[in-house]
Structure 1
Amino acid sequence: MMDPDHELFVTVADEGGLAAAGRRLHISPAMMSKRLARLEQRLGAKLVHRTTRRLSLTPAGERLHADLRAILAALDEAERRVSGASAMAAGPLRISAPTSFGRMHLAPYLQRFLDDHPAVDLSIDLSDDYSDLLDGRFDLALRISADLGPALAARRLATNRRILCAAPAYLDAHGTPRRIADLKAHRLLAARGQMPWRLVGPKGPVTVDGQSHVRTNSSELVRELSLAGGGIALRSLWDIAEALERGQVRQILPDHEGSFDVGLYAVHLPQANPPRALTAFIEFLVTLYCPAPPWERAVLP
């Protein structure tokens, strides 16, 4: 059995604050603060920085939190080996996902996971900002990227297919490009940081550079502009498949797509014995998106 003050500290770190941790443990904020101070005094190290608005771990606190989470995972694995059966997925699970993707392709299915794993205390943040797993106290993040870096464990769930597309109204008014070079004469739409477009065609990689017809930091705004006939966009198939199926946009230059290096990944910090809640959620994601994600089925070859 782990020291109660260690468990208290892990809960504080997982919840990101004394008040939230106290509610989960049914302990008053005053007693939470007292016990945390007692642990810091006993260890001779400051574990958290406290302000009126937020709580963050010190480097010593981050090391202790990682070590204690590994111990808890090892204890869970030991119990599973002794019992001869998989322990039930339980406890807190913090997930980060991109805003539009999470709303469209994660949220509609979450109740299925919660029904199968009622003891999991699920928390999900949707944001298009880069989510640092340590700083944000996330157990797992969904990322759409070509480069995840070497420090994370990752499960590739799907290739992020991206196609060039435009609304019929735009193509009727401005014509349909027949070659990549024709794009120079058209209105291109992209959020800040999304250009140049790196495409793959029959002759290999192709780069399309230019300036967006409307400058914006919002990929969702680009999507709506393209649906309204504002120009040509390079859109992820998960984002545009329904509009494509309804005829609200048409694919152009179908022999060119975004680089296949970009994929949808489930990423987490490497752990020898990850918590059952984490592995259960990854298994759930695999059932959703593998071997072919739903947005690719019956839409494009």
Structure 2
Amino acid sequence: MFDPDYELFLSIIEAGTISAAARARGLTTAAVSKCLARLEQRLSARLVNRTTRRLALTPAGQDLYETLLPLRSSLAAVEERISGRHELIRGDLRLTAPTSFGRMHLAPCLARFTEAYPDIELTIDLSDSFVDLLTSPYDAAIRIAVDVGSGLIGHRLMGSRRVLCASPAYLARMGQPESLADLERHVLLAAEGQLPWQIEGPEGQIAFHGRSAVKTNSSEVARELATGGCGIALRSLWDVAELLDCGKLVQVLPHYEGARQAAIYLVHAPTPHISANIRALLAHLREQFGDIEDMEYKAESTLSA
């Protein structure tokens, strides 16, 4: 049996926060914190740096996480092989995802998945609205958020660094903002539900309230409006890295970014055992999205130069 303290440690990292892991396991936050502290005492090493809003792995914690993941997978495979409990990967798999991320990054990486699992009947619906997974027919969702939502289980796929940006033409016309207060005289662009912006900077994290000059339910429309010179938007690097690299967009107020605890998750309703279909999809996405992490790092290096 996999060590329960190790399993809980993995759950904390995959959920993103202690409180999210506690909800997923039906435990109290205090109980999960106590188990984590017990593991750290047992190993004589600090595994996680904690703040009220996010967790960050220490070098020891990163080492343990990367060591435990293949061990857990190997142990699960051995148990299934010996006990004969091999669950077939087949049947319906209904997935919903944000429009821009789904079109740019999810759909292109699914060819190998459908080839590897031809018996899966895959349905993908794109929407910038958060679908209620507890009442809808969807099996899972790609969700970009700080918190995946109450009562749901989230598996972190990658970070989602966000920057303020605008086109050179807009900045030439309206001027470069020098402070967050200057944004009040600028045109803001955001899809429904994206404002207020959660922004981190020298003063810490703040909520910047504003009104989008154009009402839209599409995050892609907000990006295209910014690229076309209509205003300033807060966009994820996976969405605008190439536009920043080629100069069609320029970073605005580089000392301020979107809340850093935002991440991209594969989310599903709570269940005693994750289905074989979702497990297969999760493993595939974690393998594929490493390229996007590399792209974010490239854009970060360019912007900070």
User: TM-score scaled to structure 1, two decimals?
Assistant: 0.68
SS in 2 for 1:242: helix
Aligned to 2:144: 144
- Mapped to 2, the partners of 1:150 and 1:291 lie a distance apart of 30
Aligned to 1:131: 131
1:190 and 2:190 correspond: yes
SS in 2 for 1:260: coil
CA contact (8 A) 2:188 2:232 kept: yes
Aligned to 2:232: 232
- Mapped to 1, the partners of 2:120 and 2:113 lie a distance apart of 9
CA contact (8 A) 2:162 2:258 kept: yes
- Mapped to 2, the partners of 1:169 and 1:129 lie a distance apart of 31
SS in 1 for 2:300: coil
> C-alpha displacement at 1:181, in angstroms?
2.1
- Mapped to 1, the partners of 2:214 and 2:150 lie a distance apart of 36
- Mapped to 2, the partners of 1:197 and 1:103 lie a distance apart of 24
Aligned pair count reads 225
SS in 2 for 1:141: strand
Counterparts in 2 of 1:252 and 1:87: CA distance versus 1, 3 Å:
same
Aligned to 1:166: 166
For residues 97-148 of structure 1, what are the alpha-carbon distances to aligned partners after superposition, in whole Å with 9 as ceiling and x for unaligned?
1122111110011111111222222121212222222432222111112222
1:110 and 2:110 correspond: yes
1:254 and 2:246 correspond: no
- Mapped to 2, the partners of 1:245 and 1:86 lie a distance apart of 47
- Mapped to 2, the partners of 1:192 and 1:133 lie a distance apart of 20
CA contact (8 A) 2:237 2:299 kept: no
Greater alpha carbon shift after TM alignment, 77-86 vs 144-153: 77-86
CA RMSD of aligned residues (A): 2.5
SS in 2 for 1:113: helix
Percent identical? 46
> C-alpha displacement at 1:268, in angstroms?
1.2
Counterparts in 2 of 1:228 and 1:265: CA distance versus 1, 3 Å:
same
- Mapped to 1, the partners of 2:292 and 2:227 lie a distance apart of 25
For residues 265-287 of structure 1, what are the alpha-carbon distances to aligned partners after superposition, in whole Å with 9 as ceiling and x for unaligned?
11112233322221010001111
> C-alpha displacement at 1:219, in angstroms?
2.4
- The amino acid of 1:273's aligned partner reads H
- The amino acid of 2:258's aligned partner reads G
- The amino acid of 1:200's aligned partner reads E
> C-alpha displacement at 1:206, in angstroms?
2.9
Counterparts in 2 of 1:95 and 1:223: CA distance versus 1, 3 Å:
same
- Mapped to 2, the partners of 1:199 and 1:274 lie a distance apart of 34
> C-alpha displacement at 1:187, in angstroms?
1.7
> C-alpha displacement at 1:291, in angstroms?
8.7
- The amino acid of 1:108's aligned partner reads P
For residues 176-233 of structure 1, what are the alpha-carbon distances to aligned partners after superposition, in whole Å with 9 as ceiling and x for unaligned?
1222222222222222332222210022113322222333333222211111111111
- Mapped to 2, the partners of 1:258 and 1:150 lie a distance apart of 22
CA contact (8 A) 2:189 2:232 kept: yes
- The amino acid of 2:142's aligned partner reads L
- Mapped to 2, the partners of 1:174 and 1:211 lie a distance apart of 17
- The amino acid of 1:147's aligned partner reads D
Note the residue ranges of structure 2 that are not aligned, 5 or more in a row: 1-76
Aligned to 2:201: 201
- Mapped to 2, the partners of 1:242 and 1:134 lie a distance apart of 36
Note the residue ranges of structure 1 that are not aligned, 5 or more in a row: 1-76
- The amino acid of 2:128's aligned partner reads D
CA contact (8 A) 2:99 2:127 kept: yes
User: TM-score scaled to structure 2, two decimals?
Assistant: 0.67
Aligned to 1:72: none
Q: Report 1:1-301 matches (<5 A).
A: 80-82=80-82, 88-290=88-290, 293-301=293-301
- Mapped to 2, the partners of 1:78 and 1:138 lie a distance apart of 30
Larger Rg: 1
Greater alpha carbon shift after TM alignment, 257-266 vs 206-215: 206-215
- Mapped to 2, the partners of 1:218 and 1:253 lie a distance apart of 24
- The amino acid of 1:156's aligned partner reads R
Aligned to 1:71: none
